[in-house]
Structure 1
Amino acid sequence: MHARTNPGFLAVLPALVITGVLSAHGGQYRGPAPAEQLPPAPTSPPQLPVASPPAPFTPPKLPTPAPGSRGPLSGGAPVPGVPGGPRTPRGIPLAEDLTRWQLWWEMNKDRYLLLRERQAGPQGPVTGDDEWYLGATRRAAKPILPGAARVARDTIVPALHRALVDTNDPHLVTACLIALAKIGEDHRDFALLDVLVRYLPARFQQTRETAALALGITRRAAALPLLRDLLLDNATGRKLARRSEVDGRVRAFAAYGIGILAAHGGVDLKAEAFAVLDSVLHDAKVWDRDIKVAAISALGVMRLDPRAGAKHKLLLWKVVPSLDKFYRAELGKAAQLVQAHVPVAVGRLLGRGAGVDAARFRERFRDELFPRVKRGPEIHQSAAIALGLLGRPADTDVGDALQRYHEFGRDQQAWWFSTIALGEIGGDANRTRLLSLLTRGRKATERPWAGLALGVLTYRARTATPTARADSTVGVALLEQLRVVKNKEAAGAFAIALGLCGHREAAPVLRARLVEERHHDGLAGAICTGLALLGDRKACGVLRSVMMQSVRRPELLRQAAVALGCLRDRQAVRDLLDLIGEDNRNTARMAAVAGALQMIGDESTLAELLKRLRDRDLTTLSRAFVAAALGGIGDPQPIPFNARYAMDSNYRAVVPTLTDQATGILDLL
């Protein structure tokens, strides 16, 4: 329980009812618009001095900005609302309270749903290793289609390329660029990188941004020199862009692309990527905060594993000090929004190691929760997230600090990140803390976050070893909260937490509750997700019914469809194909259907989708959604390309190219 009244640190945004398509590169809504309005931009860029402790300051009360607002380390002039590719309203509807648990779940759900692994089934082929994201026993699945690379190369790729070259519509162009990049295959008649480069000088800014990002999504080492030149804004980069200077947003997306590329590349490529990102991060002439945040975020997702050899370890010893130097530099209070991305990046890189570096940063970020000098709320938020990544059950001082912040800390969002961090760290002591909060905390606010944290804790525990069983004590406690709670948003959190916990005894209750609450989109959608996480195939019938009754409620339709995909229900694919052909004027429904198809589609889906991609009687926007679905089906990766940036992110310390409700990397499909 909190020792004082909640200060209610809420960023207030106008409510958005998602009834149509929100234009972007081909994406979805994941997060809020930039939440802090910074002071006016300086006439010259701030200097980056040598590392030193942060200067004390008193943070101002800051109103909410419009996307694209200027400020120190900011991204220049506001971005005009140029058209882009299709969007699907995949996230929660915007509300004034950005501290709600739904936003955290939207950012982090991919690692738990893992659709490709679920669809492949226990006998499905697996390959590779992505332990940090998927867990110690969760391995990255191969594509779900037999001979998927050949199918994509010979069927999907030429169809997407044909649609791309035959249109000037930016919706369809950007959707095809992202889809082709996801598949990552050359064709006998054209080379993928050559196709993408042709769109770097495009008329529409979002097309240029998409082309730059797509170079990284290809996972091709040959794309690194192109991305380097764009990010550095050198003569070669300007020639590629056919401009006197490379747009700041294009440079930021090039940095994000380098991060994706480095995550999939060998250690030598990672070293080259670090050299480029490091030079931009510490270049005093670069004061665009979108570029700085992109560089920090890209360094954080490079996937450096000291166990992989000396080269990895040596490179890690370069990357972490580089980030630390920027974090400790005295750049002024306005730059703290940018510096707040460093703790998350460090946490992603170091993980729960036992080395000196990990211990030093655990102590550093623990102390950031209660600093001697006043720090902005985004620093507290990121410190809590980082401790969740770095902490181990044996680190009792970390658990004590997180609990203390939840009880006495200043920022409400950091309370909830501290609660989730306890679940991420795990262990008996944190389990006890969270169970106490679940039963004694405020019903509508604290208990839902405690429930999700317990779901995370038990999920990690039961997936750490193949023989682990679900925690029945936690499961019973969560089920009791679901039964007695009256607040429907809180009930949704408990439904998802029960799925994470693996408490199968909850399945009949959830099925009955879904029928009862089918007219309440938020709770019904959360129950769909909970049933999917439980692997309850008995729910397929009621899930299909909910999906088909939700044709005018696109978010619930999508959640029911994704749940059916997790349960490998092939009837859902046929039903979705019927829906996509009924009324292409309903763009919100088209967005939801296409978004679901790209996640659950299989070989039987291809012929119909390819037919619709070629159908010129459809609107170009409808064809763009089809292109996005095809790209998702042909994507060999187990998680979306932007999930590395979304998971464990501080989505409250945002800049427009990270997420702005429309055109950030986290908003893309």
Structure 2
Amino acid sequence: MFDTSAGRKLVGQGQVPYRTRAFAAYGLGLIGAGTSSEEDRHNIVEILHQAIVSDDSRTRDIRVSCIIAMGLVPLETITSEAPEDLKKGEVAPPQGSRTAQLDYMLDFFEDKQQNYLVRAHCPTAMARLIQGLPAELHGEYKAKIADALLQRLSKSSKEQREVQQSSVLALGLIGSNDGKDKLDKQIRKALSEVPKNVSDQQARYFSMIAMAKIGFSPGNEASDVGIKEASSYLTGQLAKGKKLARPWAGLSCGVLGRGLAEGSTGDGRIEELQAAVRDVLAGEKDNSKIGAYAISSGIMEDVEATETLLEKFNRVRDDEARGYVAIALGLMNARAAIEDIQKVVKESKYRPDLLKQAAISLGLLGDKALVPGLIDMLGEAKSLATQAAVSTALGFIGDQRSIDPLVAMLSDGDVTPRARGFAAVALGIVADKELLPWNSKIALDLNYRSSTETLTNQSSGTGILDIL
């Protein structure tokens, strides 16, 4: 983490590579997110803070990873006394308490001397850290954070686009559908005005996702007002928004519909959202847009869209679109699709992306019949992409029956070393106690557009969000 002599000895190099140091920070964040020890959390936050302060590397990777990791480690100690030697105008170090973490993040975010790509990860971190605060403190910090974020979205703002994108996403995490709260109403109004106040297209797209999240986040009073505002805004964008914005509106409708269903609220709105997306899905001919509407229907479990999804799965030839449709069918438990999806898995040995998505769909549908075939495929696969796809698929749909053959492959000296390595990967995923992928804690609600090489790199696939 600190490029010490001990660290250099461990890696066997003259210095610890920045990639290793960044991944160490992410690892600390994941440890802190899972530990029950407050002492460990304090120590982790202190280490991350020291790494930020001392970092003199040329890349932004270490500081970005430390900011993200710190947001994963909320301290249970809510408040603390400021150090006696604290100078006027300085904020207390973040390892003292949760409010110290928030004060530190807010100060870092406001500091224009800090690189904007690093600052862009503060909003999500703050939105994560504010969760679980006592009501009075939550209201106080919600107001502070919202004020800082809303300033970045004003028409006169000169802020960097990555910071604006993150501000939009974070507002979606701290706002609610409260129909009477002044700040919540202000947040919803600001998000609805992003298309005319902010020039960046991605910020505009993110504003719809944020509005969806606010729509199902319960407030204290008159939640139906916020639900109606969010639903009307999103269906309006779906029907009349710009062409490139409509898939985002469709996906956002799904996010809102799913959230309302899980909260057992807004039943009438859910049906309206389902119907709106279903109609657009049926008429969509552009393969690049089908996936968004399909996933939206899937997460809303709109069974009335099943026939349309099956038709598109069997007709569309684009692997990416078919993969998303397969996932959607799995999400809505469309068991009538199992045979068609099984056929695609068997025929997709050299089409790793489609293979992975189709296999995951079968896992969602509870179908384990292809596990033996996938194990054989893993042993025979030559390309890295296929091996990675098959191992992930095995991990997702496999059960205890897949353990013995995977262990046998891992121990078989006649199997290629890389295939044996991916057998180990599949075993790890099968045995994982978590329902979601190991890096989902990092990925959730993150602005992936404010990227570093160690966060996500589509060309190399070696970022923390890309691996397996």
TM normalised by structure 1 equals 0.61
Alignment deviations for residues 538-562 of structure 1 (CA, whole Å, 9 cap, x no partner): 2212211222232222211111100
2:414 to 601, 617, 622: 617
1:323 corresponds, among 105, 113, 127, to 105
Rounded to whole Å, the distance in 2 between the matches of 1:577 and 1:244 is 41
Pair 1:297 & 2:68 matched: yes
Distance 2:2 2:375 in 1: 45
- The equivalent position to 1:538 in structure 2, one of 313, 332, 336, is 336
Q: Which residue of 2 aligns with 1:474?
A: 273
Question: In the alignment, is the contact (CA less than 8 A) between 1:496 and 1:527 conserved in 2?
Answer: yes
Name the CA shift for 1:594/1:652 in 2 (closer, same or farther; >3 Å): same
One-letter code aligned to 1:391: G
Select which of 587, 595, 599 maps to 2:396: 599
Distance apart, 1:412 and its partner CA:
0.9
Write out per-residue CA displacement over residues 452-487 of structure 1, whole angstroms, 9 at most, x where no aligned residue.
001111111111249979811111111100111221
Task: Tell me the equivalent position of 2:363.
Answer: 565
Please provide the CA RMSD for this pair: 2.5
> Higher helix share goes to which structure?
2
> How far is the alpha carbon of 1:527 from its aligned partner?
0.9
Corresponding position of 1:59 = none
2:194 is the alignment partner of 1:405: yes
- CA distance change for structure 1 residues 252 and 590 in 2, over 3 Å: closer, same or farther? closer
Q: How far does the alpha carbon of each residue in 1:182-217 deviate from its partner, in whole angstroms, 9 at most, with x for none? A: xxxxxxxxxxxxxxxxxxxxxxxxxxxxxxxxxxxx
The alpha-carbon deviation at position 234 of structure 1 amounts to 4.0
Matched, 1:368 2:152: yes
Q: Deviations over 1:590-640 (max 9, x none)?
A: 332112001111111112212222222222222222221111112222222
Letter in 1 for 2:381: N
- The question of whether the paired residues in 1 share the 8 Å contact of 2:76 and 2:97 is answered with no
Query: Unaligned 5+ residue runs, structure 2?
Result: 81-93, 179-183, 216-226
- Cα 1:326–1:287, aligned 2, differ >3 Å: closer, same or farther? farther
Alpha-carbon displacement from aligned partner over 1:625-664 (angstroms, at most 9, x marks no partner) = 2221111112222222211111211111111111223322
Q: CA deviation at 1:359?
A: 2.2
- Per the alignment, residue 247 of structure 1 pairs with 17
Quote the offset at 1:282 in angstroms.
3.0
C-alpha distance in 2 between matches for 1:474 and 1:367: 31
2:125 alignment partner in structure 1: 345
Which shifted more, 507-516 or 572-581?
A: 572-581
| Cα offset, 1:257, TM superposition | 1.0
* Secondary structure at the counterpart of residue 665 of structure 1: coil
CA displacement, residues 549-589 of structure 1 (integer Å, 9 cap, x when unaligned): 322222111111000001110113233234334x3335433
> 5 Å matches for 1:549-564?
549-564=347-362
Letter of the 2:106 partner, please give it.
D
Deviations 1:14-55 (A, max 9, x none): xxxxxxxxxxxxxxxxxxxxxxxxxxxxxxxxxxxxxxxxxx
CA contact (8 A) 1:278 1:322 kept: no
Give the match's secondary structure for 1:666: coil
When normalised by structure 2's length, the TM-score is 0.86
Q: Secondary structure of the equivalent of 1:571?
A: coil
Q: Which residue of 2 aligns with 1:493?
A: 292
Matches within 5 A, 1:91-102: none
* Counterpart mapping for 1:168-567 below 5 A: 231-241=1-11, 245-266=15-36, 267-283=38-54, 285=56, 288-304=59-75, 315-331=97-113, 335-351=115-131, 354-370=138-154, 372-394=156-178, 395-426=184-215, 427-443=227-243, 445-465=244-264, 471-517=270-316, 519-567=317-365
**Alpha-carbon distance change, 244 to 544 in structure 1, aligned in 2, over 3 angstroms:** closer
The answer as to whether partners of 1:551 and 1:589 remain within 8 angstroms in 2 is yes
How far did 1:245 drift? Answer: 4.0
- Alpha-carbon deviation of 1:522? 1.9
Q: What amino acid sits opposite 1:355 in the alignment?
A: G
Alpha carbons of structure 1 residues 466 and 532: separation in structure 2 relative to 1, 3 Å = farther
Q: Distance in 2 between the 1:556 and 1:469 partners? A: 35
Partner of 1:607, secondary structure, is: helix
Alignment partners' CA distance in 2, 1:452 and 1:429: 17
> What residue identity is the alignment partner of 1:430?
A
On the 8 A contact 1:351/1:358 being kept in 2, the answer is no
Structure 1 residue 341 displacement after superposition: 1.0
Tell me, in whole angstroms, the C-alpha distance in 2 between the residues paired with 1:254 and 1:561.
32
CA contact (8 A) 2:335 2:365 kept: yes
- Contact 1:352–1:390 (CA under 8 A) maintained in structure 2: no
Cα-to-partner distance string for 1:223-245 (whole Å, 9 max, x where unaligned): xxxxxxxx233454445445554
What is the DSSP-based 3-state SS (H/G/I as helix, E as strand, rest coil) of the residue aligned with 1:542? helix
Q: What is the identity percentage for the equivalent residue pairs of Structure 1 and Structure 2?
A: 33
Distance 1:467 1:653 in 2: 34
CA shift in 2, pair 1:539/1:289, >3 Å: same
1:313/1:535 CA distance change after superposition, 3 Å: farther
Q: Which has the higher contact order (CA 8 A, sep 6+)?
A: 1
Contact 2:367 2:397 in 1 (8 A): no
Is 1:544–1:572's contact at 8 Å kept on the other side of the alignment?
yes
Q: How does 1:619-658 map to 2 (within 5 A)?
A: 619-658=416-455
- Equivalent residues of 1:584, 1:618 under 8 A apart: no
Q: Which amino acid aligns with 2:438?
A: F
Q: Structure 1 pair 620/463, CA: closer, same or farther in 2 (3 Å)?
A: same
CA distance in 2, matches of 1:305, 1:403: 35
Which amino acid letter does the alignment assign opposite residue 292 of structure 1? R
1:368 shift after superposition: 1.0
Q: Deviations over 1:119-149 (max 9, x none)?
A: xxxxxxxxxxxxxxxxxxxxxxxxxxxxxxx
Alpha carbons of 1:288 and 1:523: their partners in 2 closer, same or farther (altered >3 Å)? closer
- Deviations, residues 240-277 of structure 1 (Å, cap 9, x unaligned): 44555433322222111110110001222111111111
- CA separation of 1:243/1:555 partners in 2, compared to 1, >3 Å: closer, same or farther? closer
Q: Distance in 1 between matches of 2:132 and 2:79?
A: 19
Quick one: structure 1 residues 547 and 238, their matched pair in 2 at CA, closer, same or farther if it must change by over 3 Å? closer
